[in-house]
A and B are shown apart, each in its own frame.
Chain A
Amino acid sequence: MSDAALRRANAEPRWLRHLLLAVGLGFLFIFLLLPLLAVFTEAFSAGWRAYLRALQDDEARSAVGLTLLVAVLVLPLNVCFGVAAAWAITKFDFRGKSLLITLIDLPFAVSPVVVGLVFLLIFGAQGLFGPWLAANGIKIVFALPAIVLVTMFITLPFVARELIPLMEAQGKEEEEAAVSLGAPGWQMFRRVTLPNIRWGLLYGVILANARAMGEFGAVSVVSGHIRGETNTLPLHVEILYNEYNAVGAFASASVLALLALVTLAAKAIVEWRMRRETRMLTANLAAEQN
């Protein structure tokens, strides 16, 4: 079949194509681009000076600090869990594997508000361990520990979810080869497994980071909204907005929006790298068939 005929068989009439493009792009414009533009426009609505002043505010700075701290505490644990879970699931067969995979997905399905409440019920003043914690002077709820815990819960699936399909596709022959050549477990992991999964791992970390820094619902339940102490950046945005301080709220929001854009860019770069490696792998398979 000729090229032109092929294209005709596969394509909508010209008017329909234009209509679909207009509708699709119009939808994306209204729902994605306009909000993004609005964040920055509102942030700068009172000029550069007001914007910078809003960001240099002590409470804003402490909110940024807390948000970063939470991410730094949560992500390494999340990476360890993701790698361990993916290693067990993809390289070994055992009973209840699909149940484990479903459980890993669970935090995606639970409402953030319910997550917050759950930790409140356990560690709160009226919670299961509340009286004991109070008696021993340990503060979890309305403090950093609870914020970290809910963020750990919310971000739990990200790294594992990225690694499982990737490691499943890579199989276990390379690790077996490493072992048969005498490599001890750690050497095998560091020299063979880790280089193979690094991009998938990074991808998962990027997504988990975005969620960790941006989580609102769950953190809002357990943080107690103590200004300058337990306010993360998203909570800071809420407080300023509710006080009708639009410039302040949007200035902080613009920082988070910027984080989102950086996330999208990093994600696109990693996706590109991963596609390149997949292409290398498919080149592998093609050569095998020759």
Chain B
Amino acid sequence: MRPLFGPAPLLPGFRLALGCALVYLSLLVLLPLSGLAFKASQLTVAEFWAIASGERALASYRVTFGASLLAASINTVFGLIVAWILVRYSFPGKRLIDALVDLPFALPTAVAGITLATLYAGNGWIGRYLEPLGLKIAFAPPGIVVALTFIGLPFVVRTLQPVIEDIEPEVEEAAASLGASRLQTFVRVLWPALLPALVTGFTLAFSRSIGEYGSVIFIAGNMPLISEITPLLIISKLEQYDVVGATALAVVMLIISFVMLFVVNGLQWWAATRHGARAAGGARR
């Protein structure tokens, strides 16, 4: 029988390790974040509200959330297909492609930003085919969606992969042997198993997209009210020495971050209790 409660006194270093971890975390994360709260507390509620719900701020939320939602949705659909083919099908270069899926985690966002901007510009490899059709992507709101799709791509794939690997072939065989068509098997057997991971992957991609800055600013065009994301608005307020305004917007973003963190934890707990712990171990970066 294992001890259930209370620290085991046997292994050394508990106090030292926990102490170091807490000090590091407090100095680096908690203290600075409470500094933000302190700065914001110097604002009255009315002032805060005036900044947080200003015309430009509201437009920036619309752009940020709209583009993030769209990008995460695109990633959910294509991420499911990519995860499926990477687990279930075999094709040449599969392992290389599998490794490449993490590129958006590894590639600095500034590099992604200038590259996507160049690709989708009117004279770029992709833009030159889309512009004649009247589709302006770079330096317009659709560009933001493209950048965020790139950034969020690994989340859905990496969350789904272990779940698909874990589905026992016997389950599908059982469904088939009971007379279900492939479509029925997918809808009734596979879909419920995949759903928690899909929702988790979507949420991870979405929450990463909301805060994204580097890859977006190069391709967005950054026109106030039209293609200006909230992080950029914070920067431009800073550049105008409007620290108070930047702080208020940062608080709004921080609250959203906390909510998203809460939602992601809840979802991973849900996925873990429904389908074993592996669903929760997926992509986090």
Decide if A and B touch, CB cutoff 8 A: yes
Answer whether residue A73 sits at the interface, using C-beta atoms and an 8 A cutoff: no
B279 to chain A, nearest CB (A): 13
Q: 1/0 contact trace for B244-258 toward A, CB 8 Å? A: 001100100110011
Within 8 A of B (CB), among A24-41: 24-25, 27-28, 30-36, 38-39
Report whether B28 and A246 are in contact in the complex, using a CB–CB cutoff of 8 Å.
no
Answer whether residue B84 sits at the interface, using C-beta atoms and an 8 A cutoff: yes
Answer whether residue A111 sits at the interface, using C-beta atoms and an 8 A cutoff: yes
Within 8 A of A (CB), among B81-96: 81-82, 84-86, 88-89, 91, 95
Count of interface residues, chain B, beta-carbon cutoff 8 Å: 99
Contact residues in B for A121 (Cβ distance below 8 Å): 32, 35-36, 39, 243, 247
Within 8 A of B (CB), among A1-58: 1, 6, 8-13, 17, 20-21, 23-25, 27-28, 30-36, 38-39, 42
Q: 1/0 contact trace for A161-181 toward B, CB 8 Å? A: 100010000001001100100
Answer whether residue A234 sits at the interface, using C-beta atoms and an 8 A cutoff: yes
In the bound complex, what is the Cα–Cα distance between A118 and B118 (angstroms)?
A: 32
Report whether B214 and A234 are in contact in the complex, using a CB–CB cutoff of 8 Å.
yes
Q: 1/0 contact trace for B231-271 toward A, CB 8 Å? A: 11011001000010011001001100110110011000000
Answer whether residue A257 sits at the interface, using C-beta atoms and an 8 A cutoff: yes
A10 to chain B, nearest CB (A): 5
Report whether A34 and B126 are in contact in the complex, using a CB–CB cutoff of 8 Å.
yes
Most buried by A among B17, B107, B110: B110
Contact residues in B for A92 (Cβ distance below 8 Å): 7-8, 11, 14, 18
Report whether A23 and B78 are in contact in the complex, using a CB–CB cutoff of 8 Å.
yes
Taking a contact as CB atoms closer than 8 A, the residue among B115, B182, B281 that contacts A165 in the complex is B281
In the bound complex, what is the Cα–Cα distance between A238 and B20 (angstroms)?
A: 37
Given the interface pairs A24-B82, A93-B5, A122-B32, the reply to whether A35 lies near B25 with Cβ below 8 Å is: no
Report whether B214 and A109 are in contact in the complex, using a CB–CB cutoff of 8 Å.
no
Which of B46-54, B171-179, B194-202 interfaces with chain A? Answer: B171-179
Report whether B85 and A105 are in contact in the complex, using a CB–CB cutoff of 8 Å.
no
Report whether B173 and A253 are in contact in the complex, using a CB–CB cutoff of 8 Å.
no
Contact residues in A for B274 (Cβ distance below 8 Å): none
Answer whether residue A227 sits at the interface, using C-beta atoms and an 8 A cutoff: no
Contact residues in A for B18 (Cβ distance below 8 Å): 84, 88, 92, 94
Report whether B109 and A217 are in contact in the complex, using a CB–CB cutoff of 8 Å.
yes
The binding surface of chain A is classed by DSSP as helix
Answer whether residue B133 sits at the interface, using C-beta atoms and an 8 A cutoff: no
Answer whether residue A128 sits at the interface, using C-beta atoms and an 8 A cutoff: yes
Report whether A27 and B20 are in contact in the complex, using a CB–CB cutoff of 8 Å.
no
Report whether A156 and B29 are in contact in the complex, using a CB–CB cutoff of 8 Å.
yes
Answer whether residue B1 sits at the interface, using C-beta atoms and an 8 A cutoff: no
Answer whether residue B207 sits at the interface, using C-beta atoms and an 8 A cutoff: yes
Would you list 29 pairs from A and B whose C-beta atoms are within 8 A, ordered by A residue?
A20-B85, A32-B101, A81-B21, A88-B18, A91-B8, A92-B7, A93-B3, A106-B257, A108-B208, A108-B284, A109-B260, A111-B231, A111-B253, A113-B234, A113-B250, A114-B36, A114-B231, A128-B35, A128-B38, A156-B28, A165-B281, A175-B11, A179-B11, A215-B108, A237-B111, A250-B114, A260-B111, A264-B100, A267-B99
Across the A-B interface, the 8 shortest Cβ-Cβ residue pairs: A111-B211, A214-B108, A216-B214, A185-B12, A9-B176, A217-B213, A85-B21, A113-B231
Known: A149-B28, A153-B29, A207-B285. 14 other contacts (CB 8 A): A6-B169, A32-B104, A38-B119, A93-B3, A93-B6, A94-B14, A105-B261, A109-B207, A214-B108, A216-B109, A235-B110, A237-B111, A241-B218, A267-B106
